[in-house]
Amino acid sequence: MKSAIFLLAAAAFAQTLDPAKLKQPPTDSWPSFNGDYSGRRFSPLTKINDSNVSSLSLAWVHRISVPSSGGPFTGTIKSSPVVVDGVMFFTIPDHVWAVDARTGRELWHFAWPSRGGIHIGNRGVAVQGKWLFFETPDCNLVSLSMKDGKERWHKQICDPDQLYYASAAPLIVGNHVIVGVSGDDLDVPGYIQSHDPETGERQWRWYTHPEPGTPEAKTWPSVEAMMHGGGMTWGSTTYDPDLNLIYFGTGNPQPVVAHKGRLGDNLFTECIIALNPDTGKMKWYFQSSPHDTHDWDANQTPVLIDGTINGQPRKLLAQAARNGYFFVLDRATGKNVVTSTFARANWAKGVDAKGQPIPDPLKYPQNDGALVSPNQAGAANWPPPSFSPATGLFYINASNAYSVWYIYDDTDKPEGWGGNDRGGYSAAMLQAIDYKTGKLKWSHKWEGPGGPRNGVLSTAGNVVFAADPLNNFVALNATTGQPLWRANLGSAISNGPISYQLDDIQYVIVGAGDTLFGFAMNPKK
Amino acid sequence: MPLTFKGLFITILFAASLAAQGPRPAPPKPAARPLPDGPGKEITHRVCGATCHGPEIITGRGRTREDWSNVVNGMVARGAKASAAEFSEIVEYLGKNLPPRAGVAGAGGVGFIGSGPDDAHLVDSVAADRGKIIYDAECMSCHGAAARGTANGADLVRSLVVLKDRYGATIGGFLKMKKHPTTTGKPSASFDGAQVIDLAHFLHLKVTDTLRSGPYNQPVKVLTGNAKAGQEFFNGAGGCNKCHSPTGDLAGVGGKYEPVALQQKFLFPRTFALGRGARNVAPPKPVTLAVTPAGGQTVSGTLVHLDDFNVSLRDGNGDYHTWTRTASLKVVKSDPYAAHIELLDKYTDTNMHDITAYLETLK
């Protein structure tokens, strides 16, 4: 009788997300891109820990198979899987899969008939109740049934004719599906918007530029420049339920490199933004890269830290930005607490009273070239960082990099990019940053060329999972940075790892190219 | 946002695209071309597809081998990872299999830059040439030579009438309805269908010119430095003369490389660059290793693999050696370009331009 009741309950609740899970550190699920609203990507699980991780073993492999119309390159898994009730959901552009989180066995596959757009990557799904949501390169927000992958509705969220596309993982907050957009080929404005999870109807849209006539609008030379000023919203969004604020970064201003037509700070591009998710009204902004000229989108995760500064408990937010700077802010007010660098950055003259870097005009792109650090790929990029409340360290896979930035279009009215960078040198390392000071506690240099493009997971087992540039998935001691375990996956690690525990077995999942790998710490028999 | 200026802007910008949310019509034909078969296809897949983009960015716009070498050089700055030999193989593959395409000037949409819809307008360069004659006569005086607008006319590269257009359908409708002023006073509704299509090809070409795949893809002027100051840096603060000689290994280097490649090569010896006239040059020197097991003989050779856990090399006889890294295994790595890497933290941009100017004199 007891088991019958259990079965009934399980059947009623199969693959249904309890909204409370989004507010808790992830244990038997990983219910959103970052695992919870904080963006810490910290697992409280300890079955895998620094004393036994050297025995971590392979539990399953799932290699995706995509029809050739998807193109030969688009099969790279950059999404962070979402796990609900023992089922895992992950994406590549135009495709969603559901697989068994214990075995990797495929349950269903959904293919979106694409009408175009840049297929550079998809960061994954969001889940509410029995439904999931994802964005497509041709600018649609699509809702599917978690049970069978059947489409419920789709809504256009941007315009491919203006060369927008969509790649972000949506975020669910209450009855809002928050979606960001991408695209910086033409000079179009960025925005973030919210949709009703039931109907898909748009609830609000917030443009990443000021209203004409406001003080912030004076950071542009003209309304025309501001309305074509870029600032896309393709990073991951975090949320503080107590303050009822969502946090996200905005991308590069337009024109991207040839900047003479947009002198000024170019708000609200390159900012960390706090918005009310119910109204779409901005609470505060902090600009990571005033007047950016190097494509250093400030879309890196704003990680929420409940910490202590000078003995006082503080609600903080930290970002390791693509431009090489690390910022800690008060997330209620946006006021700066710490500004430091976590990698080479030679482009700023200093830091202003607000804690924002002051760009050095000599390091703007030049007709004859400017040697700039970091390069376009950045000191960091979209791959998510991690913060461990156990060690108090912020972990980011970073690069020390140089390239030469040139103006290509020196005509009177450059548009689009009008320049770019070339060549370069890049060295990779995993940085562990003390959030209280912005100083490095340790730095683990990776061998191999170039900066790694993969995320980080930290756990209560004093382990950090990261990857080197040579296809190794690596576990390190979170306190000391000592490498403890590795698996060479034969292809570049391509997403941020996640972890969950089912039936006493803790799993760690990571993507490398077209394959998901499930590692597990099996109980002793 | 209140429905103020911004609200109006939303309405104008998105009304067309957001209007229809009903059942989707069947998608158009897939426009992405697969990579052509040929030596180098696999490595191109692996290196170019591993981190960032799809095939459409590569297959769409044909380029000369030299242009492809510049593209590959630019990709290094975006994180592309490969050995010198692999980059060379990629450039050879792309140059041979994806040369410039006759009659196609580049356009938005899959097949050309990867961005935009699959059914985007594809530019016919011959038709665009005809369209330019009409544009110069009737439109340029207000909209400007690059169609990016003047005080008297809108920016057509940013115009939804143009961006929404396919082969003159929207542009033609606009000219018919609007009684749009023209330079000569010719009624805008009087352009015939063929003229409208030619004009559309020209305007879409101007959009294409604005994209990263357009003609603005080369540094304007790199030789701005002072050669004498460059020589002084070479022999002084830079310490370049400790390894190099203008009459020895660097004799003729200014004739070997175009100035941009020359600048890139001394800054980043491992970056990919062809010589003048798209000539192949010697590959960069490899990193070498000396590995000594506890109580054993040192084995030296070219680095094959080195990470936190394993190390391997190929010795002078071509034999392969591999070890598990342990505390007692001594590994010494030697990068012949270590001094170049250290200089990156020291150069001023003036140094960089002066050295470029100096090396350019070594012909």
Q: Which of residues 106-165 of A touch B (CB under 8 A)?
A: 113-121, 138-139, 154-156, 158-163, 165
> Which among A116, A408, A491 is the nearest to B216, CB-wise?
A408
Looking at CA atoms only, how far is residue B110 from chain A in angstroms?
A: 6
Interface check B223 vs A, CB under 8 A: yes
For tokens 């609470």, what's the residue? A283
Q: Does A217 touch chain B (CB under 8 A)?
A: no
* Residue in B closest to A491 by C-alpha: B50
Residue with the two structure tokens 């949320």: A239
How many Å apart are CA A239 and CA A236, to the nearest integer? 10
pLDDT confidence bin for B57, thresholds 50/70/90: low
| A-chain residues near B73 (CB < 8 A) | 422-423
pLDDT at B239: 97
What integer pLDDT is reported at residue B18 of this predicted model? 35
The reported pLDDT for the residue numbered A231 is 98
Distance CA A207, CA A501 (A): 40
Per residue in B324-358, pLDDT tens?
A: 999 999 999 999 999 999 999 999 999 999 999 99
Share of chain B above pLDDT 90, in %: 58
Which B positions 151-180 lie with beta carbon below 8 A of chain A?
155, 157-158, 160, 163-164
Q: What does the pLDDT read at residue A489?
A: 96
Judged by a CB distance cut-off of 8 A, whether residue B346 touches chain A is no
* Token duo for residue A90: 């992950």
On whether the CB atoms of residues A466 and A480 are closer than 8 A, the answer is no
Instruction: Please spell the DSSP secondary structure of B35-46, one letter per residue.
Output: PPPSTTHHHHHH
Q: What is the DSSP letter of A179?
A: E
- What is the tens place of the pLDDT at every residue in A330-355? 999 999 999 999 999 999 999 999 99
Q: What are the φ and ψ backbone dihedral angles of A462, each rounded to 5 degrees?
A: 60, 40
- What's the pLDDT score for residue B179? 87
pLDDT in tens, B250-296: 999 999 999 999 999 999 999 888 899 888 888 899 999 999 999 99
A275 touches chain B (CB under 8 A): no
Distance CA A433, CA B223 (A): 41
Kindly state the DSSP code that residue B287 receives in the 8-state scheme: P
User: Is residue A152 helix, strand or coil?
Assistant: strand
Cα dihedral A53, A387, B76, B306 in deg (nearest 10) = -20
Lowest mean pLDDT among A6-10, A109-113, A321-325, B171-175: A6-10
- Quick check: B212 and A425 CB within 8 A? no
Q: Is the backbone of residue A438 left (phi > 0), alpha (psi -120 to 50) or beta?
A: left
> Which residue bears the tokens 């593209």?
B71
With a CB cutoff of 8 Å and minimum separation 6, the contacts of A394 are A303, A305, A318, A320, A326, A385, A386, A387, A432, A433, A434, A435
For B42-53, b where at least 16 C-beta lie within 10 A, e where not — what string?
Answer: ebbbbbbbbbbb
Which of B31, B224, B307 is the closest to A468 by Cβ?
B307
Residues of B whose CB is below 8 A from A162: 13, 160, 163
pLDDT of res. A67: 54
pTM of the model: 0.92
d(CA B151, CA A268): 27
Catalytic residues of A: 295
Cα dist from A488 to A81, A470, B309, whole Å: 20, 8, 10
**Would the pLDDT of B299 be above 60?**
yes
Give the pLDDT band of residue B28 (cuts 50, 70, 90).
Answer: very low
Confidence of residue B101 (pLDDT cuts 50, 70, 90): low
d(CA A250, CA A272): 7
DSSP three-state, residue A474: strand
Looking at the DSSP bridge assignments, the partners of residue A313 are: A308
A190 φ, ψ to 5°? -85, 160
Contact between residue B311 and residue B291 where contact means Cβ atoms under 8 Å apart: yes
CATH architecture of A30-521: 8 Propeller (2.140)
**Residues of chain B found within 8 Å of residue A345, distances taken between Cβ atoms:** none
- Phi, then psi, of B260 in degrees rounded to 5: -65, -45
| Sequence spans of domains, chain A | 30-521
* pLDDT tens digits, one per residue of B59-82: 556 778 888 887 887 777 677 778
Q: Which residue has the tokens 């008939």?
A: A113
**Burial zone of A303 (CB within 10 Å; 0-12 exposed, 13-18 middle, 19+ buried):** buried
**How much is the pLDDT for B62?**
72
Q: Which residues pair with A329 in a beta bridge?
A: A317, A336
Is the Cβ–Cβ distance between B342 and B212 less than 8 Å? no
Cα separation values, A38 from A44, A239, A278, Å:
13, 6, 18
Binary contact (B144, A413; C-beta < 8 A): yes
Chains A and B form CB pairs within 8 A to the count of 272
Alpha-helix runs per DSSP H in A56-111 = none
Is the pLDDT assigned to residue B19 strictly greater than 80?
A: no
Taking the C-alpha atoms of residue B79 and residue A189, their distance in angstroms, rounded to an integer, is: 27
Query: Which A residues in the span 292-331 are in contact with B, Cβ-Cβ below 8 Å?
Result: none
Looking at residue A30, the DSSP 8-state letter turns out to be B
Is the CB of residue A76 less than 8 Å from the CB of residue A453? Answer: no
**Among all chains, which residue has been given the structure tokens 């020196």?**
A410
pLDDT at B119: 85
**For residues A267 and A234, is the Cβ–Cβ distance under 8 A?**
no
Phi, psi of A238, rounded to the nearest 5 degrees? -115, 170
B54: its two tokens: 């799809």
The pLDDT value recorded for residue A339 is 98
B350 touches B228 (CB < 8 A): no
At B188-220, the pLDDT tens digits run: 999 999 999 999 999 999 998 888 767 778 898
Count of alpha carbons within 13 angstroms of residue B158, beta-carbon side: 25
pLDDT reported for residue B51: 56
Partners of B67 on chain A (C-beta within 8 Å) are none
Tell the burial category of A259 from Cβ atoms under 10 Å away from its Cβ (0-12, 13-18, 19+).
buried
Q: In sequence order, what are the residues at sequence separation of 6 or more whose Cβ sits closer than 8 angstroms to the Cβ of residue B301?
A: B288, B289, B313, B314, B315, B316, B321
Q: What's the complex ipTM?
A: 0.92
The whole-angstrom separation of Cα A480 and Cα A443 is 9
Q: What is the pLDDT of residues A55-94, one digit of tens each?
A: 999 999 999 987 544 444 457 899 999 999 999 999 999 9
Contact by Cβ (8 Å): A419, A365: yes
Q: Measured over all CA atoms, what is the biggest interatomic distance in chain B, rounded to whole angstroms?
A: 93
Position A257 pLDDT exceeds 70? yes
The tokens for A438 are 């912005």
Q: Retrieve residue A368's tokens.
A: 């004859």
Cα-Cα-Cα-Cα torsion B195, B201, B206, B209, nearest 10 degrees, comes to: -150
Beta bridge partners of A133: A126, A143
